[in-house]
Structure 1
Amino acid sequence: METSNAPQVPASVPVMTVERFSELSGLTADTIRGQIQQGNLPFIKVGRRRLVNVALLTAECMNAEDWS
């Protein structure tokens, strides 16, 4: 039986680090930081760290007009 090397993320993870989001999305961490700065990715700030708000991003995607 083959094992998958694909990254596994629990469905209930509401936020994640830029680095982890980078690993899962295939985008560079710099690209993600740029998207956060431009306001294209929702985030929350915890201390000095910015965490990608995956829960809000998922909700925005599901509510998008072009979602079918």
Structure 2
Amino acid sequence: MDEQKQIVMIPVPVMSKERFAEMTGLSEGQVRGMIEKGHLPSMKCGKARMVNIARLSQEAINLEDWTA
């Protein structure tokens, strides 16, 4: 049986640390720490450091067993 993975399209590929914290229930300090330790992908957008939601989603898809 061929295994297929679905691609999830998200409307926004990056998100502010503050918004990510709000949506996940984490504190802004926890999000900042996760970024600094390399546990949460991020990228610079101008002066701001943004959570890279697209990369986070792709990493989750690659790590999970999506067989039904």
Q: Does 1:43 align with 2:38?
A: no
Shift of 1:19: 0.4
Q: Give the residue type in structure 2 aligned to 1:58.
A: S
Unaligned runs of 5+ in 1: 1-10
Shift of 1:47: 2.1
Q: Indicate the residue corresponding to 2:13 in structure 1.
A: 14
- Secondary structure, in 3 states, of the residue corresponding to 1:13? coil
Q: Give the residue type in structure 1 aligned to 2:21.
A: S
- TM-score in terms of structure 1 length: 0.78
What are the within-5 Å matches in structure 2 for residues 1-68 of structure 1? 11-64=10-63, 67-68=64-65
Return the structure number with greater relative CO, CA threshold 8 A, min gap 6: 2
- Secondary structure, in 3 states, of the residue corresponding to 1:52? strand
- TM-score in terms of structure 2 length: 0.78
Q: Give the residue type in structure 2 aligned to 1:35.
A: M
Shift of 1:17: 0.2
